[in-house]
Chains A and B, each alone.
Chain A
């Protein structure tokens, strides 16, 4: 059985024009990006308020961060959209099936970043992996990494907090996915899948969707543009709301309040952040501007990262979806293992920084 992928149709033009177009876009992007600070100062000056008042600070923050984040997102989402065209769940499954634990977990977490993934497909993907002989723990590494370490989160951290924090988040996000998947694999919980999933597993009768016809570079550009459109449609409102919230915190929340609540001295702040984060469900875009502003006001980095990871990686809606294939016991283990990993990262960070 074979399935054709849709190749978005771009207006017919010679290839070199498309390549040139991409280069021109990059140049213009860079030139505009350089002008963001003057732009935000210019906009802020239009408001009849003192630049150095709370309101002035908040406005300048908002008009600098919103365009900056939007531009970074456009660039990175496009790039990732193009890169992901070389990957698919089917190829990833083929790479992972029969892999030993350990190596498999590392590969799986890495592929979790690169493979196109939507949480609404978590169940068929889970079954597709497990039924093709990808070990359960390796499958979990994928399912933890794919939502947690995503380009939107990384761009926002990079743009709003700094590249060091973005790199650290990437490293520890992958680390949690690898270790948690490894631990779940070691616990041998295959028997805790829902019965019907085990039947498919043992039946091994799943037909394989065949290789797609090769994409041209132009198809890949088109898919990249498609990704930008899709992600923007989903997150723009969250970015504006989030940065708006961030601007308010930036301008108004007293510094010592956050230090007291979320500073490194309060040991209970990390578990509290995780407990608060789990029922919250938003995408990275909604949470990160708040994260940045909290950090600016003295909240401890570990606490804030733990909060962010638990919001993104452990969400109630995803658990409800996974309930179809996992028993409650298995979901509890999954949440327990991942939450422990996040706690460890939170404490470690507060200790180091």
Chain B
């Protein structure tokens, strides 16, 4: 599954990407996590508070670092 973390240069965005990567590897789920910093792309998803999380092109989360339970739910839904 393809996960994109949208947000430019905020500490929460880095944390979010790192969390997802580490939880995915713990669970043994095969994901590619990429960070999107292009502002035009970020705003085109209607995001007003970063980070935003896209899973396979669908916006699932905005505005905060998602908690562990939430990340696990996304990963197990794949």
Contact = CB atoms under 8 A, between A and B. Distances in A.
B59 to A, nearest CB: 5
Contacts of B69: 9
B40 A196 contact: yes
Interface in A1-36: 1-6, 8-9
A128 B9 CA distance: 18
A200 interface: yes
A201 B67 CA distance: 33
A117 to B, nearest CB: 8
A208 interface: yes
A206 interface: yes
Contact of A5 (B9, B42, B50, B63): B63
Given A1-B58, A116-B63, A206 B46 contact: yes
B58 A121 contact: no
Contact of B49 (A2, A6, A125, A196): A125
B48 interface: yes
Interface residues of B, number: 31
B27 interface: no
A191 interface: no
Contacts of A124: 39, 42-43, 47-50
Interface in B14-58: 39-40, 42-50, 52, 58
B43 A120 contact: no
A3 B52 contact: yes
Given A5-B62, A9-B69, A209 B50 contact: no
A123 B48 CA distance: 8
A117 B50 CA distance: 10
B49 to A, nearest CB: 5
A121 B9 CA distance: 9
Interface residues of A, number: 33
B5 to A, nearest CB: 13
A125 to B, nearest CB: 5
Given A120-B7, A124-B43, A196-B40, A93 B62 contact: no
B60 A3 contact: yes
Contacts of A207: 45-46
A123 B61 contact: no
Nearest to B73: A4
Contacts of B7: 120-121
A9 B43 contact: no
Given A3-B52, A6-B67, A209 B47 contact: yes
B50 to A, nearest CB: 5
Contacts of A208: 46
B10 interface: yes
Contacts of B58: 1
Given A89-B48, A124-B50, A131 B43 contact: yes
Contact of A93 (B45, B48, B64): B48
Q: Which of B40, B52, B62, B66 has the most CB of A within 10 A?
A: B62
9 contacts: A3-B61, A4-B60, A5-B61, A6-B67, A89-B63, A90-B48, A120-B12, A121-B10, A196-B40
The 6 closest A-B pairs by CB, nearest first: A120-B10, A128-B48, A89-B48, A207-B46, A127-B43, A121-B49
Interface of B: 7-13, 39-40, 42-50, 52, 58-67, 69-70
Given A4-B60, A121-B10, A209-B47, 16 more contacts: A1-B45, A3-B62, A4-B70, A6-B64, A89-B49, A116-B49, A120-B9, A120-B13, A127-B39, A128-B43, A128-B46, A196-B40, A200-B40, A206-B44, A207-B46, A209-B48
